[in-house]
Structure 1
C-alpha cells in the first residue's frame, strides 16, 4: 500500500468527523469562557466554527450534550495546566489558577452542578462520576503522602478529600459572585497548609 493510501485511510470520514467534533467543543469552550452560561448560545458556537445550527446538531443533538463535552474539555485544560512533577498541593493551586482564566466555563460548571442534583438531569451521571473519582483519587494521593510521613497520621483522608472538593467548589461560587473579594487560590493554600501542618 502506498504512503498516500495509508494517509487517506488514517484520515477517513471518521477521523474528519472526530476533528470537527473537537473543533466544536473547543469553540464552545471559548464561547462559554468569554460569555458565560446564559449568553453562550448554540448560534455563537456555530458562528465560531463556520457552520449552521443544523450542522452543529448533527454532532450534538441536544445542548446538554455540548455542555457536558465542554465540562470534560475544561477538565482536560485544568489538568494540562499542571506540571507533572508538581506536588499534591501545588497541583491543586495550579488548577485553581487555571480556572480563573475561564470564568464563563466555571459559571457553566456551577450552574450544571447545582441542576444535576435534580433526578433525571442529563448532567447527573457526569457529576456523580466526577465527584466519586475526585474523592477516590484525592484520598489515594493523601494516603500515599501519609504513608511517606508527609501528612499527619490522624488525618482521615476520605474526609479531607471530600472537604477539599466541597471547599473548592464553594470558593469558586463565591468568586463568581464577588470576584474581587474572594481569592480562591489563597483560601485553598490556607486549607492545605493547615492540612499538612505537623503537630
Structure 2
C-alpha cells in the first residue's frame, strides 16, 4: 500500500534534497558546497532544507550513508556486507560516477583530523573490514579460502583494492574495469585454498 499524507511528502522531499545534494557535493566538494544552492536546486528555501537536515554536515553524512545503503537488502534488519556484496557495489558504482567522485574526494579529505567526515569514514572502514573478515572466516571454515590467510589482512586488501580501483576508474574509465579487476583479485585469493 502506498503511503499518503504529510509523512510520504516529507520522505519524497528528503529524497529530492538528497539527490540535489549528491550532485552538488560531487561538483563542488564539501567545503565549497552551499546549503543555499542545494536548497535552490531542490526547489526549497534554505530554511526549508534545514527543516529536513539541520546542518550541512548532517546532509552530507546522509548522502554518504545513502551511498553505502543503496544496495542493502530491504528484507534484512541489519545491513550485512560480504565479499559478494562488495563486488556488487563496485559493479553498481560504474553507473554513478558522481557518487564515486564524491566518495573518493571526501574519503581523502577525511584524513584531516578536523574533517567533519573523519569519524564517519573511520567507523565505516571498521565496520566494512569487520563484515568482510566475518565473511572470509565463514569461507575459510567452508574450505573456500586457505586458513593460512589472515582474514583481517584479506579484508583490508579487498577494501583497499575497491577504493583504489575507484580512483583509477575516475581517471581512466576506458582502461579500468573495476568489477572485473576486483573479481580477479578475489579469484586469486580463493585459489590459495
- Which of 32, 46, 50 is matched with 1:57 structurally? 50
What does the per-residue CA deviation read over 1:39-66, in whole Å, with 9 as the maximum and x for residues that have no partner? 8764564345321233213333443322
Aligned mates of 2:89, 2:141 — CA distance in 1: 25
Contiguous gaps of at least 5 residues in structure 1: 1-6, 82-86
Equivalent residues of 1:96, 1:184 under 8 A apart? yes
Aligned match of 1:105: 99
Aligned mates of 1:88, 1:16 — CA distance in 2: 34
Count of matched residue positions in the alignment of Structure 1 and Structure 2 = 182
How far off is 1:93 after superposition?
A: 2.2
How far off is 1:155 after superposition?
A: 1.3
1:189 aligns with 2:189: no
Aligned mates of 2:169, 2:119 — CA distance in 1: 26
What is the Cα-based RMSD across aligned positions, in Å?
2.9
Aligned mates of 1:118, 1:16 — CA distance in 2: 38
Equivalent residues of 1:116, 1:127 under 8 A apart? yes
Aligned mates of 2:167, 2:177 — CA distance in 1: 11
Equivalent residues of 1:23, 1:49 under 8 A apart? yes
Aligned mates of 2:26, 2:15 — CA distance in 1: 20
The structure having more radius of gyration, on CA atoms, is 1
TM-score, reference length from structure 1: 0.78
Aligned match of 2:78: none
Q: Helix, strand or coil: the match of 1:79? A: coil
Q: Which has the higher mean CA deviation after the structures are superposed, 138-147 or 177-186?
A: 177-186
Equivalent residues of 2:145, 2:190 under 8 A apart? yes
What does the per-residue CA deviation read over 1:95-147, in whole Å, with 9 as the maximum and x for residues that have no partner? 11111111111111111111111112110110000000001110000001100
Q: Helix, strand or coil: the match of 2:175? A: coil
Moved over 6 A (4+): none
TM-score, reference length from structure 2: 0.80
What does the per-residue CA deviation read over 1:65-91, in whole Å, with 9 as the maximum and x for residues that have no partner? 22211110111113359xxxxx95543
Q: Helix, strand or coil: the match of 1:120? A: coil
1:69 aligns with 2:59: no
Aligned mates of 1:122, 1:132 — CA distance in 2: 17
